[in-house]
Structure 1
Amino acid sequence: MGLPTSPGRLESTLDRATADDRAAGVRYRRALMLMVMTLVVPGSAQLIAGNRRVGRIATRIWAAVLVAALGSLVLAAVWHEYAFWLVFNTTALGYLRLGLMLLAVGWAALFVDAWRLGQPLTLSLNHRRTVVGVNGVLCFSVAGALLFGAHLVGVQRTFVLTLFAGDTVTGSHAGRFNVLLVGGDSGAGRWGMRTDSMTVASIDAATGKSVLIGLPRNMTDFPFAKGSIMHKAWPHGFNCGYPNCELNGIPTWVGDHTSLFKGVKNPGMNGTISAIEGITGLKINYWAMVNLAGFRGLVDAVGGVTLNVRQPIPVGGLGADVTGYIQPGVRKLDGFDTLWFARSRDSSDDYSRMARQKCVMNAMLHQISPKTVLTNFEKIAKASSAMVSTDIPPSEVDRFMQLALKAKAQPVSTLSLVPPMIDTGNPDIPLIRRKVAQAIAASTRPPAAHHHRKRLPTTVTGGSIGSMNSGYAANDASNLGAVC
């Protein structure tokens, strides 16, 4: 039988237990606080309880990163050119990606060290498990976020390097940049991509106001720019009496005569550009080839495009069966339907299709917001890489992004060189050049306070007011959005 415990001894034991519990609670809270400090100010835990030299280095780096990030945000807000430079400069993107990866590794190491400084072996089992769990969540969350940011930067850098492969910078011509936009699709037996649609975007170098000049793919008997390889081969115009001598047949002809284009990087586009310049009298700065199959992916990446479908648009055709119709109404179309809205010509004609394509361009320009681009960035970059090839150099991308933002707030003008104004089988080149010059000049003038509106036809097609005989309004408009 044991000796009875005296009241004094029992009280002393309880006091020690209470003191131990308090000490354990203090150590637990201290361990958590060190990790919170590392989350808020990396290196601060080391300054308080660890290697102060490491703490000073870490906090100074964090302060520099914070100042640089805040400074960049302020600078980008007041000077958009800086933001575009940062987003499209591959060297800056490379350093930023490396910096984010190093920051992720360093921050994770500081979390591990903060856990060590919390003396986890002195904690109770439950407290130890909690500290390990909290440290793991914070460590992987912060490092994961930084590494994901580095991944997005890498995606953007790869996108720029893949898409913008040009190496020659050209200045504006008469205050304008003229960019040839070619829609094409690949197929068996073709040299590269078949040019399905051709549009010159003539952009005011100061205001971004744009005129879309559409050229029909079936135009024949047209001249080439003097001094070009194609002009030497066809000094009297491109008219050989068979289908390949239409405007969209130039890449095929060039593919059969590659010996004439020795040393030319993209012979098919070179020949097409010389034709566009010969027809319009404009000097082309750059070109962009849009793969129509990839275009579907881009529309899906931005969440679809809202279009005014005026008549049922066949899905299919073009040598295959019609499998359905896009029904009339203001509809938000996915990539598949938007592609057919732009391409379908079953029970229609090329000029109606050109009008619908202009409406799609206008919708995408005005509907795709910076927020949409940011939230769907990786999808858009992937789709764009598969969709577009261009000779715009990376150093010029920020310029065109600025012009695109300016253009977004303004109506787009259009001019399509189609019937009834132009006979595509026997085009009046002087008339075409006058019309092009007039459309560009009109786009530079401010809108009049009161002006007589041209009476629009009452008939409609799938994507524009008008008909082949009266002219589709979207093919010749001072405000494209109003007639789509």
Structure 2
Amino acid sequence: MSTTQPTEAQRVHLRRAVGFVLMSAILPGSVQSFAGNRRIGRLAMRVYGAALVLILITGFGLLVARGFTAGVLLEPWVTMVLRVVLWILFIGWALLLLDSWRLTRPLGLRQKGRLGLSITALLLIAGIGGVTGLAASALTGVSNVGEVFQGGGDTERKAGRYNILLLGADAAASREGLRPDSINVASIDAETGRTVLFGLPRNMQRVRFPESSPLRNLYPDGYVCDEGACMLNGLWTLGEEHADLYPEDSEPGLEAMKEGVSETLGIELNYYAMVDMGGFKSLIDAMGGIRLDISKPIPIGGGSTKISGYIEPGEGVLLDGYHALWFARSRAESNDYERMVRQKCVMSAMAKQLDPMTAATKFVDLSQASKDILSTDVPRAEVATLAELALKVKDQKIASVNFTPPMVKSADPDFDLIRTTVRANLDEAEGLDEAAPSPAPTSAAPSSAAPEPEAPATSAAAKPSETKPSGEATPAAQKQATPKPEQTKGAEDDAPYTQTEDLEAVCSVSA
């Protein structure tokens, strides 16, 4: 083998060859514009220059017109076109880079230089292809998200808040119609993200409809029928049965549910989000599971199936999708009201434990799972706004109020009490945002995270539970504004249920 040193001409040739390959990788078409087919080179530079300008315009749009730009990008047809264009650009880029390698006249290089140059060119093509693949996957995820957000909701803030109806539904073939098992409303301050979560039991009866509802004439005294069969979770099916009363609405069941919940709580709703509980586990699995502090064993199975095991109590228990689903929906050895608390724990954990790294690395899986199990009327143009708000919610504790016995008797609810309690808790949340960070005076009422000595058991339900960081106290004036439910003496008819407003009595979200 020859051991002669390369000549100066050979060194220049190698440097020129490496420069060609690197220039082609950085600026496609640049090499062809002066050393190859100049027409193709100039065309390529214009095409890739236009692509760069489009990327810069998009980035600028996300800064100054985020809602509009995000709305355009979330259009499925836009993402499909972008994916096709992206791969066409990659193929063109790879061909230009290979042509640049050809223009270097690699056969004129020494063997070692020729091998190194070829490997460099292939690695650059592989790297560009990898980046293209990641970008195409991201666009696939964006397309999945865009398919979820169909629009139709009310984008106008309600007294400075966004009120979102959260439904957990199980539309199994064995069930008659769609009957949501989990019914909550998240009221989120549009500026601070401070959230109050109101839970309504699925078996609440005598639900009223607003005067604007076409169902008001059919049920002027509320949704009442024989043997207590008319319950809150039946409003969806009721709306579908009377679809003729909603001629301009494509989802009469949803509209009936919104009307009943809005009238019950006394607040206007912006949006809804419904999760299919049957596919719920795929979303948890895509997250990598959730961690909860669990205070009691939760049966797996029960009812029509045999109990096959238990989710054992403990701190920081990692639940995969299967076990999280059973934790949220299990009714054995408990009641609907405790089940509501467990569902809130799961929702809070999902909101707080989806970290940015997981969202970035599992974006496609998360988006696919969301597309399969989630439906909502949030418009695409509002996704960016709500995503920013979600980050604020993530940094705060979520207040929780369940309208359950003994505070509210499900068979005969005091709707005035419910509305007053909602208003008091929203006022309290807004007061916390406005309060100075200095310690509260000793005369103020204690935080709702701690039990009040000698207070009636019912009073806990009128306050948010586990909502405030240490050092924050509830203003006494607002505490006094929250009424005590005097007519809950008959709540024992709902026995053996007990008040489970304190989330930590059953579970809490792990830090």
Same topology, TM > 0.5: yes
Matches within 5 A, 1:128-167: 131-160=117-146, 162-167=147-152
- 8 A Cα contact 1:212 1:414, kept in partner: yes
The alignment status of 1:346 with 2:332, answered yes or no, reads yes
> Equivalent residue for 1:101?
87
Of 152, 169, 172, the match for 1:184: 169
Deviations 1:327-377 (A, max 9, x none): 111212111111111111210011111111111122221211222111100
Distance of 1:31 and 1:86 partners within structure 2:
42
> Equivalent residue for 1:453?
447
Of 375, 382, 387, the match for 1:396: 382
> Equivalent residue for 1:270?
255
Change (3 A) 1:29 1:432: same
Of 418, 422, 444, the match for 1:436: 422
Distance of 1:179 and 1:248 partners within structure 2:
17
Of 342, 345, 352, the match for 1:359: 345
Change (3 A) 1:73 1:171: closer
Per the TM alignment, residue 251 of structure 1 is displaced from its structure 2 partner at its CA by 2.6
Bigger mean CA deviation after superposition, 215-224 or 162-171: 162-171
> Equivalent residue for 2:224?
239
Matches within 5 A, 1:5-404: 27=13, 30-47=16-33, 49-52=35-38, 54-55=40-41, 58=44, 88=74, 93=79, 96-122=82-108, 131-160=117-146, 162-167=147-152, 169-242=154-227, 244-330=229-315, 331-404=317-390
Distance of 1:256 and 1:272 partners within structure 2:
13
Distance of 1:195 and 1:244 partners within structure 2:
15
Distance of 1:436 and 1:315 partners within structure 2:
34
Distance of 1:166 and 1:131 partners within structure 2:
53
**Amino acid in structure 2 at the alignment position of 1:214:** G
> Equivalent residue for 1:10?
none
Larger Rg over CA atoms = 1
Change (3 A) 1:468 1:244: closer
**Amino acid in structure 2 at the alignment position of 1:453:** S
Q: SS of the counterpart of 2:225?
A: coil
Change (3 A) 1:41 1:109: same
- 8 A Cα contact 2:201 2:337, kept in partner: yes
Per the TM alignment, residue 243 of structure 1 is displaced from its structure 2 partner at its CA by 5.3
Change (3 A) 1:307 1:168: closer
Per the TM alignment, residue 173 of structure 1 is displaced from its structure 2 partner at its CA by 1.8
Change (3 A) 1:20 1:301: closer
Gaps of 5+ in 2: 458-464, 467-495
Deviations 1:367-394 (A, max 9, x none): 1122211110010001001111111121
Per the TM alignment, residue 396 of structure 1 is displaced from its structure 2 partner at its CA by 1.7
Distance of 2:141 and 2:501 partners within structure 1:
41
Distance of 1:79 and 1:166 partners within structure 2:
19
Deviations 1:302-335 (A, max 9, x none): 1111101111111112321111111111212111
Of all paired residues, the percent bearing the same amino acid is 37
Q: SS of the counterpart of 2:193?
A: coil
- 8 A Cα contact 2:83 2:136, kept in partner: yes
> Equivalent residue for 1:6?
none
Deviations 1:148-180 (A, max 9, x none): 4124213312431x2111245431222222111
TM-score (norm 1): 0.83
Deviations 1:77-120 (A, max 9, x none): 89976885676466764665455334313311211211220224
RMSD (Å) for aligned C-alpha atoms: 3.6
- 8 A Cα contact 1:100 1:147, kept in partner: no
**Amino acid in structure 2 at the alignment position of 1:321:** K
Per the TM alignment, residue 186 of structure 1 is displaced from its structure 2 partner at its CA by 1.6
Change (3 A) 1:20 1:227: closer
- 8 A Cα contact 2:17 2:101, kept in partner: yes
- 8 A Cα contact 1:220 1:247, kept in partner: yes
Per the TM alignment, residue 433 of structure 1 is displaced from its structure 2 partner at its CA by 0.5
- 8 A Cα contact 1:197 1:216, kept in partner: yes
Per the TM alignment, residue 227 of structure 1 is displaced from its structure 2 partner at its CA by 1.9
